[in-house]
Chains A and B, each alone.
Chain A
Amino acid sequence: MINKPLLSPLSWIIIAMLIALPFITSSSYILMVMVFVAIHGTLAIGMAILLEHAGIFSLAHPTWFGIGAYVAGILSVRQIVSPSFGVAFSAGVVALISYLIGAPILRLRGYYLACATFALLLIVEMSLGQLGSLTGGYEGLMGIPPLSVGTFTVKTDTQYYFLSWTLCLGCLWFLSNILNSRVGRAIRSFRDSEVASRSMGVDIPKYKLQIFVLTSVMAAIAGSIFCFYIRFTMPGMFGFPLLVELLTMIVIGGGRTLYGPLLGSFITIWLRELIHLYLGKIFPVMKAEVDAIFFGIIIVLILIFIPQGFAGGLERFFHSRSKAFARFQRAGK
């Protein structure tokens, strides 16, 4: 990914296919699943940047997603602000919270950061359940209106499809620009050698906090769109099962490439739908925890056999092929 032109022919083809999809199919089911792919893809891309590029072991990504969804949901259910302002508010609120929490918590490293952010994840999940009068408690927040901008209401699956994919690809574009720039090199540098990074003039805490807040805000925006799309939120949707799902996406796609988690999101979400479709009749309960069995097994298998993920594996495959081809050409001359 890095140092390659961002918009290779292949990515143009994929974008064209994404644009064409709603005109080819009228199945609202397919569009719905693709909306989920985009929203979870946005989350997974951000989390992969933290885990794999910046070396920040943050497991709190579902939390920012959840807070984003709840802030937008509560504000619009109570008709405090219109839904479109709800999106902006949730981004702002999460930016503030993640800044205030990130500043002290990013001083931790490795496992300790993972423990602290994992605790944060559970704390927020439980608090959302406990604050019943505000959030609707464990039963969830009902009656969220659809997203509307002025008098225009975003209602249909197609509209949400374009909205969520614009968000997702926008975030991808933004993050890829960053990773290939001065700021991105600084972010990647402290994972490799902290001492060298400091000696090159990189203010490490500043950049850690910046990328942490940035990806949290992206998660929050995805969360607010998610809540307007499914019109309902529940604390359980933003807990441990979502974390396992995001890890699956990152592991399947391979976090070292930027588009890998998006590919992972596509595979994971469709896999989940297939599981529900075919195994839903066999198993008595079909909760997120049951999906997590499959995801857990997939994570373990991939980390053992293809540790660089599908995207990384493909890239390595093409790389070795092109090298072999170049050798072949040289030999021919």
Chain B
Amino acid sequence: MTLLSQLIQYTISGLTGGSIYAVIGICWSVVYLISRVLNFTTGEFVMLGGMLTWGFYRAGLGLVSAAMLAVSTSIVIAMALERIAIRPLRFATEMVYMMVTIASASVIKGVILLTWGSETRTFDAFIGTRMIQIFGASLTPQIICVISLLIVITIGLSLFFNLTLFGKALRACAINLRGARLIGIDVSKFRLFCFGLAGGLGAITGIFITPITFTGYNIGLLAGLKGLVAAIIGGWNMVGTVLAALTLGLLEGFGAGFISAGLKDIFALLVMIIFLILRTLHFSYKPKIRRA
């Protein structure tokens, strides 16, 4: 391979990874902004999407209906999670929310392991497997699906948040929860909706990436955490998250290509830690300002 074809190969694989992290990052921020819950199950829904589709597909459904069934199951599970585990803990501290979502993630993961074992699974790509050749770089068509998924989700969500009344009310909640409650917005209903939205989007992402990266019971943690990296660096807003995720994906793509594929996950997490520490240097100590 020439250097040019290598560069193209790594760029495309980086963009693919970045798109995935972007959608997952959006899932984190949707839940975080509405409920201040850092939902550690986010990544597990990516795993659930892929695994459930595989399971339904194997049970005899068509790929499309299996996928739709998997997404709706994930949404139901996410909403159930909110109702069963998050909602009864009213006025809990951040730490309690964190423990509960970590615990729920481990439950989801364990149940899938128990049902379908620890092998990696996959199913057919959506639009064929014939490689596309660009300047000597060979790409699977599934990559096009993943990147267009990101575009569709970003455009769809921004239309939803900016044009519909429901979406605007959600943004109001994200800006000021108590204020939103005071003007009569039913925050608890919105929280349920956001958990469902995050679960559904996560599952869709999981379905789209399975033909490329394969899926297994234990992919959720890392996938989720990288989305979190993007959400944090992007400052919890959508544009920022997408930009951060694509940058992270590209860094990872080139890092995997030129340095070592085994270290790319470690590298992504290191980026997050370093970013978080650098962030404290700029905005060091900020107490609540009370003036008499």
A residues contacting B by CB (< 8 A) are: 51, 57, 104-105, 107-108, 110-112, 114-116, 118-120, 122-123, 126-127, 130, 194-195, 240-241, 243-244, 247-248, 251, 283-285, 287, 289-293, 295-300, 303-304, 307
Contact = CB atoms under 8 A, between A and B. Distances in A.
B109 interface: yes
13 contacts: A57-B98, A107-B284, A119-B225, A127-B266, A241-B106, A290-B113, A290-B114, A295-B103, A300-B85, A300-B107, A303-B92, A304-B85, A304-B88
Contacts of A283: 114
A281 B97 CA distance: 34
Interface stretch (B137-145, B154-162, B186-194, B271-279): B271-279
B110 interface: yes
Given A107-B280, A123-B273, 20 more contacts: A105-B277, A108-B280, A116-B276, A119-B269, A123-B270, A240-B221, A241-B106, A247-B99, A290-B114, A291-B110, A292-B109, A296-B106, A297-B107, A299-B99, A299-B100, A300-B103, A300-B107, A303-B92, A303-B96, A303-B99
Interface residues of B, number: 47
Interface of B: 38, 84-85, 88-89, 92, 94-96, 98-100, 102-107, 109-111, 113-114, 117-118, 217-218, 221-222, 225, 228-229, 232, 262-263, 265-266, 269-270, 272-273, 276-277, 279-280, 284, 287
Contact of B277 (A108, A130, A284, A298): A108
Contacts of B273: 105, 116, 119-120, 123
Contacts of B38: 111, 114-115
A110 B94 contact: yes
Contacts of A119: 225, 229, 269-270, 272-273
B114 A115 contact: no
A126 B273 CA distance: 16
A283 B269 CA distance: 34
Nearest to B105: A296
Nearest to A112: B276
A126 B106 contact: no
Nearest to A105: B277
Nearest to B107: A296
A289 B277 contact: no
